[in-house]
Structure formats: structure tokens, C-alpha cells
Structure 1
Amino acid sequence: MTAGPQDWSAARAAPAAGTPPRSLLIRGARVLDPASGHDGIADVGIRDGVVSDIGASLPTDRFEQTIDGRGQWLMPGIVDLCARFREPGQTHKASFASETPAAQVGGITTVILPPDSQPAIDSPATLLRVQRIAAQVGGLDVRVLGALTKGLGGEALAELSALRSAGAVGASQALQPIRDMLVARRALEYAHGLGLTVHVFAQNAALAAGGCAHEGAVATRLGLASIPVAAEVSGIRFWISLVEDTGARIHFCRLSTARGAELVALARERGLPVTADVAAHQLFLTDTDVDGFNALCHVMPPLRSSEDRDALRQAVADGVIGAICSDHQPHEADAKINPFPMTEPGISALETLLPLSLALVHEGVLTALDAAARLSLGPARIAGLDAGTITVGAAADLTLIDPAREWVLRADHLRSAGRHTPFDGRSFRGCASTTLYRGEPVFVG
């Protein structure tokens, strides 16, 4: 462990070359398993890509390689519910080749891609194309949401049955609205019949009206078109009313408001099949960070008030919001240089998802076990994946964390092809020291 802040690039050693070990022992780590609630020191043995042993003082001579985990935390690999890799269609922004290492550095072992690539993922052919690209790069479990409507146009329903057969783990409109309420209802009925969860970005397009900032004093002073809290609230209410009618499973993506979190909590108390996530940056930044027309803080949904941020933190702590995601959106340099309303929303966030979540632990908002749940088990359950646990027989997708390592994030050292982050220069405590995918170290810092 280091005594003082260090540059993030120092924690980026490449994985050792050679044949991956068939067996591996992690000794003496604090094992965080949100599935069982286990939080304690243990040895974890891995054979042929799966967890084979969990116990105290496992014999080292039974394993080809040993990692000293003393003083570190071992949790299931992070499952990121929303990350854009920009391929196919926007490789000038990023690609699987550039973003996979960024995910590995961040302790992420599974990513869920929204369907708004170019072309949209509205057919089995496009979905299989994405899967082939991901397989060629390897080292990461890549899952895909199918488009809810053709071309994400919000009119004709996409081939949900065929998309499900091709491997889609859910359906979504990404950031695109469905303006026809009957189409929305038919889409939920169709998805429900297939057992697909519909991932919804709940924002009333008419109320949002092309805005780019939170409706408040900052947007008013800067003269920015604003998006009121009511845009999210009315969107959530609309979709909850359809859940009541259809019984379909809805996952609300990237909540940004206190009132939105309250509506989700009430729906869950009534037993409705509703879940939610939040982007990590929404738990730290507010609309005041937009001041000075800071395009690095142009995100969608927009950064809200400090009261909203604090309510979102509480909802994460209470489990109302069951997952924290990156909402990773890498951009080329030109995407952020225009006047604020003309810049493209989104930031590079794969490499800050874990450090920001650890900051919540250090601040006392979450326990270490809660953080593991929001980053692994919670999102895995939402996506219907057999992941997010450290148990014998489970895939050895694991993240070893040095919780005390102090470092400074430098945007120009990000592995992502995108270099846009509002956290440039921020000091962090804690990061991934080793990421294992199917028992193979794919990142060693």
C-alpha cells in the first residue's frame, strides 16, 4: 500500500504474459459475498475458471499460482448495467478493443450494452454481430439489450422473440421515447409474455423539450434550456401504470431525482416488479457543477440538486435503488468543445465506477458488503444473470480491491478512448488491484 496519493497510471501494470493458470489461490482476503451475506477473511481457490474452494488456510501446494490478498477485499466481478462501447457505427469514439481494457482496469467483468448502436440492435443479425465483435476481443462478459421498437423509432415493435432467442437479456429504447401510449402498452405485453425485463429511461419527452440542464437557479442564470423534475416523475408514473395493467417487469434506468426514487420505493412496497439503478456520478455531482458551462458535466439525465443527490444516496443505501452503474459514454475530443447545449451528453465512466462506489463506503453511506451488492449481485439479478456471488461452483469473475490505495485520476491516463471525465484531478482511496475473468487475471495493478 502507498503512503500518499499517486498517479493512476502507476496502478496499470499489464497482466503477466504466458499461459493462464488452471488453478489459482487468493489468500487471506476479506471476502464480500452479497448473495450469502458473508463478510470475513478467507482463502478462495479457483480451478478451471470456477470457484473450487472457500475456507481458512487452504494448502498452497494444491494451486499453480498464489495471490496474496491480505489487507484487500475480494468481491464478485462488477456487473455494469449500462456501458456504450460505440461499436458498431461510432468507432471514431471508441471500440471493444479500447473499452474492454478500461472495464478490466475498473474491476468490471460483465457489461450490459444498450441497443442504441448504429444500426440499432433491433434484429438478431445485429445482435449476433455485436456478440462476434465482443468474442474476438474477449476478457469480458458482454450482454446486450434488444431494441424495444424497430430502429428505436417508437412505432413498430421490434422482433423481441427473435432477439431473446439470440441472447438479448432485456429490451430497451435507450434514450429514445415512445410517444404512442398504445405502442408502449403493447411492447410491455409482448415483453412480459417472453419473460423479458424492459429497461426504461423514464423521461417525458414533451416536458424535457430538448433541454440540457436541471431546471433550477444555475440553468436560469446560464440561460440553458432546462429539464424539470416533473419530466422524470411523470415518465415513471406512466410506466408504473402500465406495469399495474400488464404485470411486466420494468427496470428504471439512471434515476436522477428524489421524487423519482420515492415513486420507485412506493411501487416496490406494493409488490410491483420494479427495479432501478443510478449512475455513479449522480451520487456525487449536482447542477452547480455545470456552472461555467462545464461540458464535462453535460450528462443525461442532467445533474440535479444537492437534495436530489442526497435522496439518491439514501435510496441506494436502503436498497430501493438496487444497482449503481457507470453509464459509460466515451466521446471523441470534438464532442465536448462546442457551446454547452451543442455538446454531446455523457462521460467516460468505466474506470470511476468502482472508486466512486468505494468513496461511498469511506463516507459511511454504504457498508463494504452493500457496495458489493449494488455493483455485482443487484445488477446481475436485474439482468437475469448467474453472477454476483462467490460460491463454490460459481464462475470465477472476481475483483480484488486495495481499499486503502490512494491515487489521483488523470483523464489523459484513462484506458478508455474517451478522455472526458468531471473527476479529472480528483483524489481517490481504493481501486481494483486484480480483475479475474473466468479465473484468469485480465488486469493486475
Structure 2
Amino acid sequence: MLLKNCLAFIDDKFVKTDILIKDKKIVKIQKNIKEKDENIIDCKNNLVSAGFIDIHQHWREPGYSHKETILSASLSSACGGITCAGLMPNTKPVIDNLQNLELLEDLLKQSVIKSLPYAAISVGQKGEELVNLKDFKNRIFAFSDDGRGLKSNALMLKAMQEAKELNIPIISHCEELDLVNNGHCHDGKVSKRLNIAGISSESESVQVARDLLLANKTACKYHICHMSAKESVHLLRLFKSLGANVSGEVSAHHLVSCEDDILNDDGNYKMNPPLRAKEDKNELLKGLNDGTIEIIATDHAPHAKNEKEGGFNKAYFGIIGSSFAFSLLYTKLVLKKKTKLKTILNAFSANVKKRFNLKQCGELKEGSFADICVIDLNKEWILSEDKIPSLSKNTPYLGEKLHSKVILTIVDGKIVYKENE
């Protein structure tokens, strides 16, 4: 396969070049490649990037195939330029032993992209008993109880000590359940206006502080899931300055939206952590721009239509985003000059690869696996249900006019998504 007329993002620069792919890998990157190839694709000076790596998704199988399947989730990712996804373990059964991991691995044969399976930290994600972490050596990407905060300080300390020995990251959903108080949205303007129980920022930042202290003590490679509170950003910035082996991610929706955008009791705005105050959103963006937050993830969390009905009090937590996250960020942030295109691209690819030493994931480099996405930055389109490959459509951004669209996604040199002309 030969990609002609690329505006390629390579080593933090935009370069006009051609890219030749053979046997799953990039074999040549240079201008005006003269090569007889049966599959020549004219990229028409569109942006060409390394395929995106999204380390935080929920693919729902096994156990919840009415929400999403391995196939539909991977197709949704491919539509959004994602060539590798991290799969959280809150399936049914939970990925807390090798038998359940092997069940997932068998299902993953249906995926059109690469995947990074997680294992739970605690058995059944109940926070009571540590999983046999050593069983998972060389079998998983990371440990996480995502979906629930791990309450026990002692259990988290032990998990970090063992994970450090195994050289496997701990990726933590920080939520102190005692401070959640059965809330459904951020404890702020909207909770008061709609008379809905609120979730305080402290429910996140208290556990972020605990985890960062323990990670610094153990030297465990530690990463914070879906940061939402300004205090969490301050804490991460502090511990990074102290030399701790820590990092954090922010979801696209927390970068572009805040509680001010919630006008009605709409369950499609219900997510965990919730959209917080404008000052929180601004601090998250500042953290992304100054490098405190290195990674963007989608936290793609599909739910069936009936599971998002009934307003905040009844709807399930979570929204989707894998198929349109880049377009949303480009429209809401890059075009409005709130961040640079380079920042978004790096947070979705190079930063992730570097932070987690992901050898199997691609980069635009000769000899690397050909994991690539092509993006038309000038394309305008309306986000509608028929444009979303996911089985679930639970997003508050339906009807939005978006600028930029992934038009081609390649994994290991094979086209896995192509935009219909």
C-alpha cells in the first residue's frame, strides 16, 4: 500500500511526504516515492497521523452485549481513528482471573483493531480481596478497578507494591464512595437547580491525593483515570514535580463541556466523574496545555437507550465517544485556539506510546507497524445516530456540527475503516 500526498505529523512536525507500507509495516517515508503498488491511495494533502491509542474504553463483552459487542466497539474506534484501545475489566464476569481473561481473549478475535486488556485490582471489583496479580504477568496492559474507587488504603498499597515488582501499571478510578452520597451530577449549579443529589469534587481529589502519596512511596507506575476536578490537576502537577512515576488522563467531554452546558434533566449528560464547574474544565485544559496531563482518553461507555432514560436520577453513568472524540476536540478546542492541533495528536498517540512503552502500537516511523489514520480537517458534518457505529448512541453531542473527520484508518497495514464518499 502506498499513501501519496500526505500531510504527515511526524516528530512534532507536519511534513509533506509519501508513506509506503509492506507486510504490516511502514518501510519508507519520503517525498515522491516511485513504487509500483496495486493499492495507491491519494491522501490529497489531508492530515496523516499515527493511529490513536485510547487506553480507556468499555467494550462490554463478555456479559453486556446489548450495550456493545467487541466487533461494534472496535468498528466505532476505527471510525474515530483509534487503532489500539485499552479495555476496562468491569465486564461480566469481571476480568479478575486467568479463566475470565481467556474468555475475553477469545472474544477479541472479532476486533478489527488492537486491544490492551486490563485486569481488576480486587476480586469482583468489590475492594475487599486483592486479585492474584502475579497470574497476569505478561498477559495484560494494566490493573484497574475502573467503575469503582478502591476504598482500602492497605489494599491499594499492597497492589502498588506487587504491580511495581511485575512492572505493570496501576490505572486508578479515583472515587471516595463515602463522599459520593448517592449523587448523580456535580455538586454545583445544576444539582441545586434541578434538585438532584450532587457529587463533590473532593470525592475524586481525596483519593487522588491518597494514591499519589502511595505511588510516590512505592515507585509504582501509576496513572489517574478520567480526571475532572481542578484539585486533582494541582495534585498531579505537584507529585510530578517531586519526581513520582505518575501520569493522568482527561476525557474529551471534560475538556469541552462543564455543568453550564446542562440545561435540562437529561440523562445523556450523566457520567462518572460528572461534568464539573467551568473553573475545573479550564484547569483541565491548562493541565493538558502545560503537559501536566499527558493523555486524552474517551472513556467510551455505551448503554442501551432505555438505560439512559428517566433523567439524572435513573439513568446509568457513562457516555460514548470513540468514533468522534477527535472531531469534537478539533471543533471545540483547536479551531477556537484553546489548544494546538499538535497537543491533541500527541495526547492521543505519541505520549501514550511513550508513557506505557507500547511497542505493538504504531508510530509514523520506518520499521514501525502501519497503524495510521487520515483526517480531513476541512470536512463539516452533523453528529447523528446513523454516523455512530457503536450499538449505543448515548451522547449529549447528537446534532452538533463538527469540523474534521477521520476518513481512513489502517491497522497493521490493513484498511479497517474508510469513510463513504
TM-score (norm 2): 0.96
Give 1:257 deviation, angstroms: 1.3
In the TM superposition, 1:233-312 aligns within 5 A as 233-312=205-284
1:73 alignment counterpart: 47
Question: Could you list the runs of 5+ residues in structure 1 that have no partner in the other structure?
Answer: 1-23
2:56 alignment counterpart: 82
Question: Could you list the runs of 5+ residues in structure 2 that have no partner in the other structure?
Answer: none
| CA distance in structure 2 between the aligned counterparts of 1:410 and 1:41, rounded to whole angstroms | 33
2:19 alignment counterpart: 44
2:368 to 365, 373, 394: 394
Matched residue SS, 2:171? strand
Shift in CA distance, 434/412, structure 1 to aligned 2, threshold 3 Å:
closer
1:405 alignment counterpart: 379
| CA distance in structure 2 between the aligned counterparts of 1:55 and 1:288, rounded to whole angstroms | 47
**Residues 150, 175 of structure 2: 8 Å contact kept:** no
Matched residue SS, 2:349? helix
Give 1:249 deviation, angstroms: 1.3
**Residues 256, 329 of structure 2: 8 Å contact kept:** no
1:108 to 2:79 alignment: no
Shift in CA distance, 92/138, structure 1 to aligned 2, threshold 3 Å:
closer
RMSD of Structure 2 on Structure 1 (CA):
1.4
1:353 to 2:328 alignment: no
Show CA shifts across 1:341-389 (max 9, x none).
2210111211121112322222223323222111112223344312352
**Residues 42, 56 of structure 1: 8 Å contact kept:** yes
Give 1:288 deviation, angstroms: 2.4
1:340 alignment counterpart: 312
Show CA shifts across 1:18-72 (max 9, x none).
xxxxxx1111211112xx33321111111111000001111142x2211112220
**Residues 122, 163 of structure 1: 8 Å contact kept:** no
**Residues 60, 66 of structure 1: 8 Å contact kept:** no
1:173 alignment counterpart: 145
| CA distance in structure 1 between the aligned counterparts of 2:149 and 2:254, rounded to whole angstroms | 22
1:117 alignment counterpart: 91
Matched residue SS, 1:81? strand
1:320 to 2:292 alignment: yes
1:444 to 2:421 alignment: no
2:113 alignment counterpart: 140
1:362 to 327, 330, 335: 335
2:7 to 20, 27, 30: 30
- Tell me whether 271-280 or 237-246 shows the greater mean CA deviation: 237-246
Matched residue SS, 2:33? coil
**Residues 295, 343 of structure 1: 8 Å contact kept:** yes
**Residues 106, 354 of structure 1: 8 Å contact kept:** yes
Give 1:153 deviation, angstroms: 1.3
Matched residue SS, 1:122? coil
1:58 alignment counterpart: 33
1:11 alignment counterpart: none
| CA distance in structure 1 between the aligned counterparts of 2:215 and 2:131, rounded to whole angstroms | 20
**Residues 326, 352 of structure 1: 8 Å contact kept:** no
Give 1:97 deviation, angstroms: 2.1
1:371 to 344, 355, 362: 344
| CA distance in structure 2 between the aligned counterparts of 1:177 and 1:218, rounded to whole angstroms | 24
Give 1:202 deviation, angstroms: 1.3
Give 1:140 deviation, angstroms: 0.7
1:19 alignment counterpart: none
1:193 alignment counterpart: 165
- Tell me whether 186-195 or 386-395 shows the greater mean CA deviation: 386-395
1:216 to 2:188 alignment: yes
2:201 alignment counterpart: 229
Amino acid at match of 2:343: D
- Tell me whether 402-411 or 378-387 shows the greater mean CA deviation: 378-387
Aligned length in residues: 417
Amino acid at match of 1:180: S
| CA distance in structure 1 between the aligned counterparts of 2:364 and 2:334, rounded to whole angstroms | 20
Give 1:431 deviation, angstroms: 1.0
Show CA shifts across 1:216-274 (max 9, x none).
12211211111111112111111111112211111000000112111111111111111
Amino acid at match of 1:31: A
Give 1:177 deviation, angstroms: 2.4
- Tell me whether 38-47 or 297-306 shows the greater mean CA deviation: 38-47
| CA distance in structure 2 between the aligned counterparts of 1:274 and 1:436, rounded to whole angstroms | 31
| CA distance in structure 2 between the aligned counterparts of 1:303 and 1:352, rounded to whole angstroms | 18
Show CA shifts across 1:312-347 (max 9, x none).
112112221111111111111110112422210111
Give 1:125 deviation, angstroms: 1.5
Give 1:105 deviation, angstroms: 0.9
| CA distance in structure 1 between the aligned counterparts of 2:24 and 2:337, rounded to whole angstroms | 34
**Residues 362, 370 of structure 2: 8 Å contact kept:** no
| CA distance in structure 2 between the aligned counterparts of 1:81 and 1:197, rounded to whole angstroms | 12
Amino acid at match of 1:41: K
| CA distance in structure 2 between the aligned counterparts of 1:393 and 1:412, rounded to whole angstroms | 37
- Tell me whether 409-418 or 300-309 shows the greater mean CA deviation: 409-418
TM-score (norm 1): 0.91
Matched residue SS, 2:103? helix
1:128 to 2:102 alignment: yes
1:13 alignment counterpart: none
**Residues 110, 143 of structure 1: 8 Å contact kept:** yes
| CA distance in structure 2 between the aligned counterparts of 1:141 and 1:323, rounded to whole angstroms | 18
| CA distance in structure 1 between the aligned counterparts of 2:339 and 2:282, rounded to whole angstroms | 13
Give 1:412 deviation, angstroms: 4.0
Identity of aligned residues (%): 24
| CA distance in structure 1 between the aligned counterparts of 2:297 and 2:328, rounded to whole angstroms | 11
Amino acid at match of 2:293: I
